Amino acid sequence: MDTPFIDAEARVRSLDPEGRLLSAELLAGGVSSHIRKLVFQTACGIEAVVERRPKVMPGKPPPAERAALEAALLARLPGLGIPAPRLRRFDPPDTLVLDFLDGGAEPPPGAPASLIGPMASALAALHRLGPEHGLPAMRSFTDPLPDLKAWRPDLFPADAAVQAACPPLEGSPRLLHGDFWMGNLLWRGGELAGLLDWEDACLGDPMAELAAARCDLHSRFGAGAAESLAETYGALAPTHPARLAWWDLYMPSAQLTFMDGWGLAPEELERLRGAMTRRRDLALAALGMG
């Protein structure tokens, strides 16, 4: 079996010299990373780990940079009460070995109503964390306008009497997962059991992450689910409607810019493009730019 990883038995021995490999399986569904699950026997019982190697992706930093950030962050997050997988080892330049978290990607019955509370709670818990919690150095993500002006210069004509502006972030940037969508949420027994794939984490505006999650809910369940998430989050953490409006434009615009490079099946690509076009147009109308 062709694999981007080292020999599976060698990997098990790097974790436990007496460990015995039971199975090795390449996992599907990793858009931005190669993923392999290993199950092995140790003196303490059967263990399972996941190896991840980021892929080259348009619009993202190089794989080695993303892997190093994720390794540093995952060494810290479990101690802060965030349900992230424990880092077992990091092999530079770009291979992470993580504890395998039990659960499934399928949402609990009754979606979307059953999703809203757990998702809002997870976002609020993340956004309470900031530089003061000993997080590694990360990029800052607080202003949607530079990218929007690059992607849609027609929305920002140089000769406009008044240039559109997004209110600045007040206070220190907060921890953002950076890719908070259903594909990175792990469910068990109807509860949100894990947050996966931290390679895009940053310190930024919580409204950016709320807008990203709203995009995903809109694409799956419609605009009502997106609005419900904002309302539920607002009961748990501060919100800023004016900044959220700009990030609501930014997030679908970003997806429309980069989704052709995500390796999606044609029918899924077409579905997502339609949903994000509708969401972008709603945001433009809300900002008076439609």
Check if the beta carbon of residue 161 is closer than 8 Å to that of residue 262: no
Is residue 104 domain-resident?
Answer: no
Domain residue limits at 65? 8-99
pLDDT at position 2 = 56
264 and 200 in one domain? yes
195 and 89 in one domain? no
251 and 142 in one domain? yes
Is residue 105 domain-resident?
Answer: no
The set of residues, in sequence order, having a beta carbon less than 8 Å from that of 229 and lying 6+ positions away, is 116, 119, 120, 210, 213, 214, 217
269 and 140 in one domain? yes
Phi and psi at 130, nearest 5°, equal: -150, -165
Is residue 85 domain-resident?
Answer: yes
Question: Residue 69 belongs to a domain with what CATH number?
Answer: 3.30.200.20
Report the domain count for the chain: 2
Task: Identify the helix (H) or strand (E) that includes residue 274.
Answer: helix 266-286
155 and 73 in one domain? no
Residue 216 half-sphere exposure toward CB, CA atoms < 13 A: 17
275 and 250 in one domain? yes
Is residue 200 domain-resident?
Answer: yes
246 and 141 in one domain? yes
pLDDT at position 28 = 80
- β-pair type (185-188, 191-195): antiparallel
- Enter the pTM of the model: 0.92
* Cis geometry, peptide bond prior to residue 78 (ω within 30 degrees of 0): no
Q: Which domain-ending residue is among 41, 74, 99?
A: 99
137 and 219 in one domain? yes
Cα-based torsion angle of the residue sequence 167, 173, 179, 181 in order, rounded to the nearest 10 degrees: -70
Is residue 271 domain-resident?
Answer: yes
264 and 173 in one domain? yes
Q: Which domain-ending residue is among 38, 66, 99?
A: 99
Is residue 12 domain-resident?
Answer: yes
pLDDT at position 1 = 43
192 and 143 in one domain? yes
118 and 94 in one domain? no
pLDDT at position 204 = 97
Is residue 42 domain-resident?
Answer: yes
Q: Which domain-ending residue is among 74, 99, 124?
A: 99
CA distances from 161 to 78, 246, 283, 284, 285 (A): 50, 20, 22, 19, 20
Is residue 1 domain-resident?
Answer: no
Residues of the chain with pLDDT under 70: 1-2, 29-30, 161-162
pLDDT digits (tens, 9 = 90+) for 160-203: 766 778 999 999 999 999 999 998 999 998 889 999 999 999 99
Question: Residue 240 belongs to a domain with what CATH number?
Answer: 3.90.1200.10
For the residues of 1-26, what is the DSSP string, one character each? Answer: ---SS--HHHHHHHH-TT-EEEEEEE
236 and 158 in one domain? yes
